[in-house]
Amino acid sequence: HFFNQKEPLLKGKKLLISAGPTREKIDPVRYLTNHSSGKMGYAIAEVAAKLGADVTLVSGPVHISSPRGVKVVNVESAEEMYEEMIVRFADAHIVIKTAAVADYRPKYTFEQKVKKNDGDQQLELERTKDILMALGKRKKNQVLVGFAAETNNVDVYAKGKLEKKNADMIVANDVTSAGAGFGTDTNIVTLYKRDGTKTALPLMSKHDVAENILKEALHLHEDERK
């Protein structure tokens, strides 16, 4: 079994993982974010550390304590997450991007609290950097794993993200199905790889999903070294 090896499976491997949501500031009291709990990314970090890996977890704001043996780097915005991932990327063997990065941020951040007026308010947004895509462009022999959170057309969107972001594997989940997605302790995912194979895993704990993802990522890493 995965854990019952004499030599820990991921010993000597450097893993870089991102988790949680990002927070995009509007003014000192308000921000934009999403429903990510961070549970999936923290489960991967925890399992990887147990398997002997050297794990760095770049985390958005979540309510989970640091897993034992994991180096946690706390960030808030997509821009901060981008900076921390880029500087650590060259050194990593396996990179797993579970984070639910905000796609847009307010175009202007106000120094003072925005006061209400009669009538409606407009908020101008601009795109954040796509971190996974930026890493895909810089990729040498790192194994790059991305996630895809979808509500429909999972197959088409997951394959599109694999291609567009130059990832080696995309872990797709339909966030609207029962037992999957935000805040739950279980997940239902499908793994899409560059060789065109697709593996649909049944409902299982995020801990077991983490084990499956790490096993696949390690295979890809070993293929890379052949």
Contact residues: Ca ion, CB under 5 A: 103
Q: Which residue is closest to ligand CTP by CB?
A: 131
Q: What's the CA dihedral at 33, 39, 45, 49 to 10 degrees?
A: 150
Q: Rounded to an integer, what distance in angstroms lies between the CA atom of residue 183 and that of residue 196? A: 30
Name the binder of 99 from ligand CTP, Ca ion, none, CB < 5-8 A by kind: ligand CTP
Any binding-site annotation on 89? no
Nearer to Ca ion, 94 or 131 (CB): 131
**Residue 145 CB, nearest distance to ligand CTP (Å)?**
8
**Residue 205 CB, nearest distance to ligand CTP (Å)?**
21
**Burial call 198-211: b when 16+ CB within 10 Å, e when fewer:** eeebeebebbbbbb
Q: Rounded to an integer, what distance in angstroms lies between the CA atom of residue 111 and that of residue 124? A: 16
Nearer to Ca ion, 165 or 221 (CB): 165
Distances (CA, A) of 113 to 54, 78, 118, 124, 215: 42, 22, 16, 16, 48
Can you tell me which of 80, 83, 103, 224 binds ligand CTP, judged by CB under 6 A? 103
Q: Are 213 and 145 in contact (CB under 8 A)?
A: yes
The DSSP annotation for 112-170 comes to: SPPPP-SS-----EEEPP-HHHHHHHH-SS-EEEEEEEESS-HHHHHHHHHHHTT-SEE
**Residue 157 CB, nearest distance to Ca ion (Å)?**
10
Instruction: Tell me if 147 contacts ligand CTP by CB under 6 A.
Output: yes
Burial (CB count within 10 angstroms: exposed 0-12, middle 13-18, buried 19+), residue 105? buried
Name the binder of 128 from ligand CTP, Ca ion, none, CB < 5-8 A by kind: ligand CTP
Nearer to ligand CTP, 131 or 214 (CB): 131
Instruction: Tell me if 19 contacts ligand CTP by CB under 6 A.
Output: no
Instruction: Tell me if 42 contacts ligand CTP by CB under 6 A.
Output: no
Any binding-site annotation on 215? no
Contacting ligand CTP within 158-177 (CB under 6 A)? 161
Catalytic residue among 34, 74, 166, 212: 34
The verdict on whether 34 is a catalytic residue reads: yes
3-state secondary structure of 209: helix
The residues binding ligand CTP (CB under 6 A) are: 78, 97, 99, 101, 103, 128-132, 146-149, 161
Residues marked as catalytic: 34
Give the annotated binding-site residues for CTP: 103, 113, 147, 161, 165
